[in-house]
């Protein structure tokens, strides 16, 4: 297993964030010359992450309050910002995998389709899109607190990756 980078994103007035770290696996996907999207969807689904899509990343700040999200980058590179306007910038590229806890805002700072990725959700959960409007909270905070931790890491399955990292974090309001 590749050792991931862990990014702790502070909450803001607009964005709740999470006590769980964002997890970045660099160069974790070994992509074939063809059918890359299919392979990544299959890998994520094998580990319980489904309801997958294949696209770029929105160019506005948004977060999900009813599920965590994994992004597997299959083409290009871009700069993301996590946590709102004053958040943390992060370069991602083909082969990287980014796991974003519910509540963490993310935005593509370049063109939406500068990068192509596969997105998926634990147990195929549906997702919502919140943009930091004042009327979203405290309902989104309650949603986030009710989300269970995933049973498997989207790359490595049970007992590795986020299963080891997130289960050892002192996360308030997270169902274990």
Q: Are 65 and 132 in contact (CB under 8 A)?
A: no
Q: How many residues would you count in the chain?
A: 176
pLDDT bucket at 62, cuts 50 / 70 / 90: very high
CA atoms within 13 A on the CB side of 176: 12
Per-residue pLDDT tens for 83-129? 999 999 999 999 999 999 999 999 999 999 999 999 999 999 999 99
Q: Are 17 and 79 in contact (CB under 8 A)?
A: no
pLDDT bucket at 175, cuts 50 / 70 / 90: very low
Helices (H), 12-161: 36-46, 139-145
Return the C-alpha torsion angle 78, 83, 88, 89, nearest 10. 10
pTM: 0.93
Q: Are 118 and 41 in contact (CB under 8 A)?
A: yes
Level-2 CATH architecture, domain 13-167: Sandwich (2.60)
pLDDT bucket at 168, cuts 50 / 70 / 90: confident
Kindly list the domain boundaries of the chain, sorted by start residue.
Answer: 13-167
What pLDDT is recorded for position 34? 84
Alpha-carbon span 167 to 36, nearest angstrom: 30
């Amino acid at each position: 297993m590749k050792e991931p980078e862990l990014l702790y994103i502070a909450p803001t007035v607009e964005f709740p964030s999470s006590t769980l770290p964002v997890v970045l696996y660099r160069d974790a996907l070994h992509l074939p010359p063809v059918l890359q999207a299919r392979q990544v969807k299959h890998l994520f689904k094998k580990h319980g992450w489904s309801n997958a899509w294949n696209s770029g990343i929105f160019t506005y700040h948004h977060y999900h309050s009813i599920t965590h999200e994994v992004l597997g980058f299959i083409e290009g590179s871009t700069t993301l910002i996590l946590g709102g306007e004053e958040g943390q910038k992060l370069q991602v590229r083909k082969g990287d995998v980014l796991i974003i806890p519910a509540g963490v805002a993310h935005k593509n700072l370049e063109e939406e389709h500068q990068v192509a990725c596969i997105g998926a959700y634990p147990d195929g959960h549906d997702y919502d899109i919140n943009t930091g409007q004042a009327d979203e909270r405290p309902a989104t905070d309650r949603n986030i607190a009710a989300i269970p931790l995933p049973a498997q890491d989207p790359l490595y399955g049970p007992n590795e990756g986020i299963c080891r990292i997130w289960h050892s974090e002192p996360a308030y309001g997270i169902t274990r």
